[in-house]
Amino acid sequence: MISSTLQGMAERFRRPSALAQIAECEGAPLMQAQAVLADGEPPASPLAQMGNDGHGFVASAITLWRDSADSTPIQWGEAIAMACSDATAAGLDAWTVRCIQMCADFARDLVQKYDIEPDNVLVEHPLDMAALGFAAKGTADLVLVIPGTLAVVVDWKLGYVDQGEADDHDQTQAYAAAAAETFNAKEVLVWLVQPRAEKAHRRTAATYDAETLRANRAWTVAVLNRSRSDAPQLHAGYGQCCYCKAQHRCPEAKRFIMDTREALHVLGSPLDGEGYADLISAGKLAEKFADTAKDMGKAYIMAGNAVPGWKLGTPRATRSVVDVPAALADLEAAGISAVELARNDALSIRVGGLPDAAEASIAGRIVEKLSSPPLTADKSTRTRA
């Protein structure tokens, strides 16, 4: 019997953004609650914090425009510029500020396209998640409402993990179903906006009609109910285990890695696609497990504990320029131009990080060279637990 305290702690892991994980491994919320209880909360990733900070500035651009509508209107361009300059003053890097601008520009375009009244532009708006079975409230980054007709939900993803497309994203379907409940909308359009992703994934949309919304709601309720049962099943795989906070303690994740290793050793190469899927998943999970294990072990030793057979080595120095614009200015002042740096292989341009207009201006100089194709998760052909 699982204690009500642990079940209660597990609720924080039953959130819309974890729906895909729970669908694959219904025991994940409880396992993570147990791991955090035993080991404490792992430190938040600085990259995730960067995403959170970015959200705040996108919200401030939209609210500046919206809340000024009744008094002295602030135009979109001015509101966005103010939010971006606040973000720069707060120490956010130039690329994150550009991502904030792209999101705010996108919000402006949607508001203008659907001719939404300022009062119906809702920022960081709580959605009614109870009908879907979530105990915690969900918050939509932006909701535009055409009363009784359409709700447009926008989810900003400012992090570095490419989340694929909106119509293959479990969190967006949960938001759509919740928005339909909250706003009594017949149709919900969800936009997934992720400025750091590949161009094809930067802005994707999915539309949900009443029938799809009903089916999504029923599926979400069933997934969450299974995770609250007394004996929720664990099911390991790369997608669900990769960011799981219980990974280092999970017997199922370890068994998955070891069984696949054993099968490779005893049986040789897999016979079919399913076999290769398990092999790749186990290999990638083992890499992740190794990183987690090394980080935890290092932290334990650095805290002054002894670990037989292991000690900390001498840190290797890496030399890099932190403030590149300032370094370029110094070099120019010393008579060394960017062109000379490039000729000496000391400078490169990351085309993928450039805004579209800048990329267009050097388009004729860009050549493409294909690397070996990376292994990428294909959610459209994944198997569900």
> Which residue, 21 or 163, has its beta carbon nearer to ligand SF4?
21
Q: What are 152's two structure tokens? A: 């447009």
Would you call 62 helix, strand, or coil by DSSP? helix
For residues 134 and 16, is the Cβ–Cβ distance under 8 A?
Answer: yes
Under the binding rule (CB under 6 A), the answer on residue 10 touching ligand SF4 is no
Smallest gap from residue 237 Cβ to ligand SF4 (A): 7
Q: Which stretch binds ligand SF4 (CB under 6 A): 108-116, 237-245, 261-269, 287-295?
A: 237-245
Smallest gap from residue 246 Cβ to ligand SF4 (A): 5
Among 100, 253, 257, 286, binds ligand SF4 (CB under 6 A): 253
Interface mask toward ligand SF4 for 314-343; x: CB under 6 A: ------------------------------
Under the binding rule (CB under 6 A), the answer on residue 182 touching ligand SF4 is no
C-alpha span between 13 and 385 (Å, rounded): 18
Under the binding rule (CB under 6 A), the answer on residue 281 touching ligand SF4 is no
For residues 188 and 150, is the Cβ–Cβ distance under 8 A?
Answer: yes
Would you call 359 helix, strand, or coil by DSSP? helix
Instruction: Name the nearest CA neighbour of 90 among 66, 60, 64.
Output: 60
Would you call 25 helix, strand, or coil by DSSP? coil
Decide the pairing of beta strands 150-156 and 121-127.
unpaired
Among 27, 138, 159, 232, binds ligand SF4 (CB under 6 A): 27
> Which residue, 163 or 194, has its beta carbon nearer to ligand SF4?
163
Angle at 190 between CA 186 and CA 191, to 5 degrees: 155
C-alpha span between 241 and 289 (Å, rounded): 9
Would you call 125 helix, strand, or coil by DSSP? strand
Among 23, 25, 59, 143, binds ligand SF4 (CB under 6 A): 25
Among 194, 247, 260, 281, binds ligand SF4 (CB under 6 A): 247
Among 18, 83, 223, 241, binds ligand SF4 (CB under 6 A): 241
* DSSP E strands, 117-183: 121-127, 138-146, 150-156
Under the binding rule (CB under 6 A), the answer on residue 19 touching ligand SF4 is no
For residues 12 and 31, is the Cβ–Cβ distance under 8 A?
Answer: no
Under the binding rule (CB under 6 A), the answer on residue 122 touching ligand SF4 is no
Smallest gap from residue 228 Cβ to ligand SF4 (A): 15
Q: Which stretch binds ligand SF4 (CB under 6 A): 192-200, 250-258, 268-276, 360-368?
A: 250-258
Under the binding rule (CB under 6 A), the answer on residue 252 touching ligand SF4 is yes
Q: Which stretch binds ligand SF4 (CB under 6 A): 26-34, 168-176, 202-210, 323-331?
A: 26-34
Interface mask toward ligand SF4 for 57-76; x: CB under 6 A: --------------------
Among 18, 31, 142, 188, binds ligand SF4 (CB under 6 A): 31
For residues 178 and 190, is the Cβ–Cβ distance under 8 A?
Answer: no
Among 19, 23, 190, 250, binds ligand SF4 (CB under 6 A): 250
243 Cβ contact partners less than 8 Å away, ≥ 6 residues apart = 21
Under the binding rule (CB under 6 A), the answer on residue 236 touching ligand SF4 is yes
Beta-bridge mates of residue 140: 125
Under the binding rule (CB under 6 A), the answer on residue 176 touching ligand SF4 is no
Tokens 């890695």 sit on residue: 257
Burial status of residue 179 (CB atoms within 10 A of its CB: 0-12, 13-18, 19 or more): buried
Under the binding rule (CB under 6 A), the answer on residue 240 touching ligand SF4 is yes
Under the binding rule (CB under 6 A), the answer on residue 141 touching ligand SF4 is no
C-alpha span between 216 and 132 (Å, rounded): 9
Residue 56, H or E segment? helix 46-67
Instruction: Catalog residues that contact ligand SF4 under the rule CB under 6 A.
Output: 21, 25, 27-28, 31, 234, 236, 240-241, 244, 246-247, 250, 252-253
